[in-house]
Chains A and B, each alone.
Chain A
C-alpha cells in the first residue's frame, strides 16, 4: 500500500460528493478514521493489482453507509474519483451498499448485516490452507450489527480454532439494547483492544499488532450516532 500525503481531513470533501445515501451518513462517518488508517498504513493491497492472491483482505461487513469506504478507495486509486459523483445512480458502480462485482478493491458485497465475519473466517481459513500465512484478514462491523446472531457463530469458532484474523467494531452506541458489559465481552477468547475511533495513532497501534494464534478484536469508539 502506498502511503500518500493526503491528510484524512480531506476525505470529508470526497464524501460530500456522494449524495445518494443520506440516511446512512452517520454510519459512514463513523468508520472514516479506521478506514483511512487501514488503507494508508496497514493493508498490503496494490490498487493496480487488487486481486493478488497473497494480498491482505479487508471486508466491510457493515455495508450500510459505505461513503467513507468509497472515498478512501477512490483516494487510494482503486477507481476514479469521478465515480463518487454518481453514487446510487442507474449507471453508477457505487450503490448504497457495496458490490464486489462492480467495484475494484471491494472484497465482498454487503448490506444485509451479519455476513462479513463468517465470510472473513472462511477467507482466513482459505488463506491458511493455501500457505498464505503472511496475509491478514480484517473485518469491519458496527456495534448494532452484532445483534445479528450469525456473528456469534463466527466469533466462537474463530476463538476455538485460534484463527489469526482481526475484527474491528465501530462503537457509536447504535445497538438498540446496547451491550451490557461491553462489546469485548461478546468476543470471548479474542485479544481485545478498545481505542478512540478518532485517534489515528491509537487505531494504527491496535491494527498493527499481529497475533499468529489468536483472533484480534479492536473496538473503535466514536461519537454516538445522531440523526
Chain B
C-alpha cells in the first residue's frame, strides 16, 4: 500500500498544482523524484511532526490541498493537538496518510504502533476515515480526497486482503446469510476464513467514517459483529446510533487495550489480539450461537 500511495500521490502532484505533500522524513527517499520536480509543494520538514501538521494547516489556508504522511503514531498520536487546532479549529482540510497501522511496527515495539488512531480522530469533527483492505483500493480513495478540501485520514497497513473491493466506501455484502458481521479493511479475509462454514452475512467497508448507518440498518438483524483493525469498540457509538430504537446485540472485536510487550511480526500481534481467523472464530461463534 505504501508504494501505491507514493505512486498515486506523485501523479497527483504532477496533475494538480493544488496538491502539496508534507513529510517528516518518513518516505522522503521515495518522494525524491517528486521533490525535485515540485520543490515548492513537496516539503520535508524533518523529524518535526507538530510542524508537519501546522504547515499543512497553513498550506490549506492559502488554498492548497496538503497531504501529510508519516507513521500512524507520529501522524495522529503525536500531533493530535495540531490536528485538532491547526486543521479542525481553523476549518482547514488535509489528507493524512499513515503507515504502520496498529502493529505493523511489531518489531519496533509500542512506540511505533497506533491502535488508537481512529478513536482519537473520533473525538474530532468532520473526519472521513479510509482503511483500505487492498493496495488497489488506495488510488481511488486518494484521488477522491484530492478533489475537495475536507479532512481525510487514510490508514495504510501491511496486512491486505486477497481481493480488492474498490467500491466499498459504504457497506458491501461479500457473503449473504444469517447474522451480520462487518469487516473493516484488512479484517475481511480473516473474517471470511473464520466464518467460511457459518451461516452469516459478511459485509465489508474500507470507510468506517462516516460509518454507513443506512447500510447497517438495512443489513443488521438483532445481532451484529464488528471486526476492526484498531482498538476494539472504536465504532461502538456509531453502531449504537445507527441501530438506536431497535433491539440489538453487538460484539466488538479489535485490538485490545493492553500493551503487548512482545516483538515479532504483525501476524504475531494479530494472533495475540485474537484477530487472526482462529482467534476470531471462537468469540463470533460463542456470540451468535
Binding site for B on A (CB under 8 A): 53, 99-101, 107-109, 112, 115, 117-130, 132, 149-150, 153-154, 156-157, 160
Contacts and interface: CB of A to CB of B under 8 A. Distances in A.
B86 to A, nearest CB: 6
A160 B82 CA distance: 22
Contacts of B54: 115, 117-119, 121-122, 150, 154
A153 B81 contact: no
26 contacts: A107-B61, A108-B90, A118-B50, A118-B51, A118-B53, A119-B58, A119-B61, A121-B54, A121-B58, A122-B22, A122-B59, A122-B66, A123-B58, A123-B62, A124-B58, A125-B43, A125-B58, A125-B59, A126-B60, A127-B62, A129-B64, A149-B50, A153-B45, A154-B54, A156-B46, A156-B48
A122 B45 CA distance: 11
A166 to B, nearest CB: 15
B37 interface: no
Given A129-B64, A154-B51, A118 B58 contact: yes
Contacts of A120: 58
Interface string B50-90: 11011111111111101000000000000001100110011
In this complex, the member of B48, B58, B61, B89 whose beta carbon has the largest number of chain A beta carbons within 10 angstroms is: B58
Interface of B: 20, 22, 40-41, 43, 45-46, 48, 50-51, 53-64, 66, 81-82, 85-86, 89-91
A61 to B, nearest CB: 10
Given A125-B43, A129-B59, A150-B82, 18 more contacts: A100-B91, A115-B86, A118-B50, A118-B58, A118-B82, A118-B86, A122-B55, A122-B56, A122-B57, A122-B66, A123-B61, A125-B55, A126-B58, A126-B62, A129-B20, A129-B41, A130-B64, A132-B62
A118 B55 contact: yes
B126 to A, nearest CB: 13
Contacts of B41: 129
Contacts of B53: 118
B82 A126 contact: no
Contacts of B46: 156-157, 160
A17 B62 CA distance: 33
B125 to A, nearest CB: 12
B85 A121 contact: no
Given A112-B85, A122-B56, A130 B62 contact: yes
Contacts of B55: 118-119, 121-122, 125
A129 B54 CA distance: 16
A115 B82 contact: yes
A198 to B, nearest CB: 31
Contacts of A154: 51, 54
Given A108-B90, A119-B86, A126 B51 contact: no
A131 B81 CA distance: 30
Contacts of B66: 122
Contacts of A100: 90-91
A160 B47 CA distance: 13
A157 B48 contact: yes
Contacts of B81: 112, 115
Contacts of A112: 81, 85
Nearest to A132: B62
Contacts of B61: 107-108, 119, 122-123, 126
